[in-house]
Structure 1
Amino acid sequence: MRIGELADASGVSTRSLRYYEEQGLIRSERTPGGWRDFDGSTVERVVMIQHLFAAGLTSATVNELLPCLEAPPEERTGVMEQLLAQEVERLKAKRRDIDREIDTLQALRGEVARP
């Protein structure tokens, strides 16, 4: 399937698909004419990538997780658990940073509002 067909089937832009390919998240073969040719199973992979990005994961982490998701359940549990736990901690730290920034801005706003 060509990149436009994959974009239509997955709901992801061709630009994003090219980025995913650059990052090693998806693969394509090249036709003799130089067109990208994606396997039909790539649609499911792209949808999974979208879910992982929506969860706040980086492309590097998604790249680490994808092989785990494709492995048999008994092989993926430990690695996935560790990676997901790390991501939860990273996001919690990010939330703490954002909360501090909000507190700072609210305090500043209070000072500006004083006559």
Structure 2
Amino acid sequence: MRIGELAERTGTSRRLLRYYEQQGLIGSGRSPNGYRQYDESAVGRVLQVRGLLDAGLPTRVIQQVLPCLDTPRSSIRFSGVTPGTIAVLERERDRMSERIQCLTHNRDAIAGYLDALRAAEHTDASPG
């Protein structure tokens, strides 16, 4: 598929897709006329990248994490891993866990509010 279709299917601008490619987060081939060509798996990869970016991971960390998303751990080759890389990943993991807890708390609060609204609506609608 060409970049326009990938952009449409993922809700990602063409400019961002080119940036992801420049950063090594996605790959493409070239058609004889020079247009970028993406295979079907690029849709899922772009959505993974966007999810990790939304979680707050920088692209340099995403580049290191991406192989873990598709490959059995026994097949992953680790290179250039430093204590700093491990520390960054631990901080990001902990930050994600905190964010998940916050989102879970907020989701539960909204669910409780909706329950109260529905109960009040039901009470108001009852003949009295």
TM-score in terms of structure 1 length: 0.67
* 1:70 Cα deviation from its structure 2 partner: 1.1
Q: Distance in 2 between matches of 1:74 and 1:85?
A: 21
Q: Which has the higher Rg, Structure 1 or Structure 2?
A: 2
| Structure 1: gaps of 5 or more residues | 93-115
Gaps of 5+ in 2: 97-128
1:12 maps to which residue? 12
Give 1:37's aligned residue.
37
Residues 1-115 of structure 1 correspond to what in structure 2 (within 5 A)? 1-72=1-72, 82=86, 84-88=89-93, 91=95
CA RMSD across the alignment: 2.2
Instruction: Provide the aligned length of Structure 1 versus Structure 2.
Output: 87
CA deviation after TM superposition for structure 1 residue 68, in Å: 1.0
Per-residue CA deviation, residues 69-93 of structure 1 (Å, 9 max, x unaligned), is: 11115667xx9xx56423246x59x
8 Å CA contact 1:68, 1:75 repeated in 2: no
Describe the SS at the equivalent of 1:56: coil
- Distance in 2 between the 1:67 and 1:88 partners? 17
**What is the alpha-carbon distance in structure 1 between the residues aligned to residue 12 and residue 48 of structure 2?**
12
CA distance in 1, matches of 2:72, 2:50: 21
Decide whether the 8 Å contact of 2:61 with 2:89 is kept in 1: no
